[in-house]
Amino acid sequence: MNPLHMRSSAGATRTGAPGPLLAAGDESLGFEATPRYCPTTLLASFALLMAGRGRCVNTDMMLGDREYAMWQLACARATDDPELAAIAARLFAYFDDPQHSAMPVLGTA
């Protein structure tokens, strides 16, 4: 096994010598692999408002499945509830980024 991949949590190899945080082939990861963070309080408010309108929203699926998230947001925007539509519009920015379409959105506590 490559010693660069045998790091402790402090970033040092098992031999004790400090190692780089990335392996040699990882430079290409860059911004494209950076996850986006969605405020979970906003997402929870969205789910509660949707539940009040009879729609069950799985917040884990919202964070992990962009297509599911976009569908739920579209359903919310189609309601006549201005508060729900406003929250959906704010959440839309976290899910509608074509650069990150294959990257799941992560929640923050």
Q: For 92-106, what is each residue's pLDDT tens digit?
A: 988 876 654 555 555
Q: How far is CA 106 from CA 16, 36, 72, 103, in A?
A: 33, 6, 17, 9
31 found inside a domain: no
28 found inside a domain: no
**Domain span at 103:** 36-109
22 found inside a domain: no
Q: Is 90 helix (H, G, I), strand (E, B) or coil?
A: helix
pLDDT of residue 4: 46
pTM of the model: 0.58
At 40, list the tokens: 């979970």
11 found inside a domain: no
- What confidence tens digit (pLDDT) does each residue in 26-83 have? 444 444 455 567 888 999 999 999 999 999 999 999 988 889 999 999 999 999 999 9
9 found inside a domain: no
16 found inside a domain: no
Q: Where are the beta strands (DSSP E) in the chain?
A: 36-39, 105-108
CB 91 within 8 A of CB 39: no
- Total domains in the chain come to 1
The CA distance from 23 to 5, in Å, is 7
